[in-house]
């Protein structure tokens, strides 16, 4: 038999904001607009190979991973180039919805500003007249250094755990003593890669520098800086998901400059979390209603909260 004197559970209203608020949360009044992932380029064969599964390219993989963070949201993807899974198809039905400020949110699947992808998104939105907001890309973000660290460790070029002390000499002949964080997208992309490079250097305890993968002069300059720093085993770590810079071009650059290269970032749960954060950030920025005051909140229930008599 239940204790009749037991107090009922307190049903206090959840706070809408605060320093401990879950960053993945957003104001429910805006509804759940469709989340559209804009994958750079076309889902060509190279992109499928980079994703690790020829039948499951990056777009569908990222959709599945993001659903673990946003199960209540409709998630789809479109390619910013090519005829297969075009972005226009993903945006075609996102017309204005009465009572909601936006019908969809587009998250570019790039780690830095990428002009070709940005232009393709703008053209697709204009062509479909979709009622959407476009977020920033997945970077710069502190978690990108964690993903690059993982890719380097998977290839056996660095330790899997974080370095606590600076290591002057690599522990064996396979491990690298210098890393180039490769960017694709011009100067702004290199600046974003520079943020990742600083964080990655702090994790590894070795020299890490950013460079433009599409500019051989930039790579030559950075490679010279690594040699002057005593680096004998450089590794190129591409800070791209994959479709932005084909694997065959990366392998050719590594061979030309006498370096090795690890795999691109590809699809992963960490990148999916960043995409979910971008979605929540946009929805929270659309707030046009004032947060409720203390007087507007319902009074707590329970015997301990009876009104004064």
Q: Where along the chain do its domains lie?
A: 28-139+268-285, 142-261
* Contact (CB, 8 A) for 133 and 106: yes
Nearest-Å Rg of the Cα atoms of the chain is 24
Distance CA 246, CA 239 (A): 12
The Cβ-side half-sphere exposure at 178, using a 13 Å CA radius, reads 19
CATH of 142-261, one of 1.20.1740, 3.40.1350, 1.10.287, 3.40.50: 3.40.50
C-alpha distances (whole Å) from 198 to each of 31, 93, 171, 222 are: 38, 42, 22, 15
Phi and psi at 143, nearest 5°, equal -70, -15
The architecture of the domain spanning 28-139+268-285 is 3-Layer(aba) Sandwich (3.40)
Q: Is 28 left (phi over 0), alpha (psi -120 to 50) or beta?
A: alpha
- The answer for residues whose C-beta is within 8 angstroms of residue 71's C-beta and 6 or more apart is none
* Contact (CB, 8 A) for 209 and 183: no
Burial state string for 81-105 with b = 16 or more CB within 10 A and e = fewer than 16? bbeebbbbebbeebeeeeeebbbbb
HEC per residue, 222-253: HHHHHHHCCCCCEEEEECCCCCCCCHHHHHHH
pLDDT at 295: 52
For the chain (length 309 residues), average pLDDT per consecutive 10? Answer: 51 46 54 91 48 61 95 94 89 87 95 95 96 95 95 93 51 82 96 96 95 95 95 96 91 95 95 95 71 49 47
28-139+268-285 and 142-261, same CATH topology: yes
User: Can you say how many angstroms the Cα of residue 25 is from the centroid of all Cα atoms in its chain?
Assistant: 17
Taking the CA atoms of 158, 188, 132 and 28 in sequence, report the sign of the dihedral they define: positive
């Amino acid at each position: 038999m239940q204790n009749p004197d037991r107090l009922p559970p307190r049903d206090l209203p959840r706070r809408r904001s605060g320093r401990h608020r879950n960053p993945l949360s957003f104001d429910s009044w805006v509804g759940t607009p469709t989340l559209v992932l804009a994958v750079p380029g076309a889902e060509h064969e190279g992109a499928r190979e980079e994703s690790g599964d020829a039948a499951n390219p990056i777009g569908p993989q990222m959709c599945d991973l993001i659903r673990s963070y946003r199960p209540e949201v409709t998630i789809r993807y479109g390619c910013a180039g090519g005829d297969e899974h075009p972005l226009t198809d993903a945006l075609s039905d996102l017309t204005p919805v009465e009572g909601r400020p936006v019908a969809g949110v587009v998250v570019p699947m790039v780690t830095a500003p990428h002009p070709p992808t940005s232009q393709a998104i703008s053209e697709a939105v204009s062509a479909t007249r979709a009622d959407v907001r476009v977020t920033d890309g997945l970077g710069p973000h502190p978690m990108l250094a964690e993903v690059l660290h993982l890719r380097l460790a998977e290839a056996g070029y660095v330790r899997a755990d974080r370095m606590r002390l600076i290591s002057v000499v690599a522990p064996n002949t396979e491990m690298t003593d210098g890393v180039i964080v490769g960017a694709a997208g011009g100067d702004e992309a290199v600046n974003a890669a520079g943020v990742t490079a600083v964080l990655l250097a702090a994790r590894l305890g070795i020299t890490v520098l950013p460079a433009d993968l599409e500019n051989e002069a930039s790579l030559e300059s950075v490679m010279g800086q690594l040699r002057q720093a005593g680096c004998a085993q450089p590794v190129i770590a591409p800070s791209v998901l994959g479709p932005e810079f084909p694997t065959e071009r990366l392998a050719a650059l590594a061979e030309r400059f006498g370096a090795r290269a690890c795999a691109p970032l590809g699809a992963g749960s960490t990148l999916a979390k960043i995409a979910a954060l971008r979605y929540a950030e946009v929805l929270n920025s659309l707030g046009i209603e004032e947060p409720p005051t203390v007087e507007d909140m319902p009074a707590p229930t329970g015997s301990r909260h009876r009104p004064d008599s």
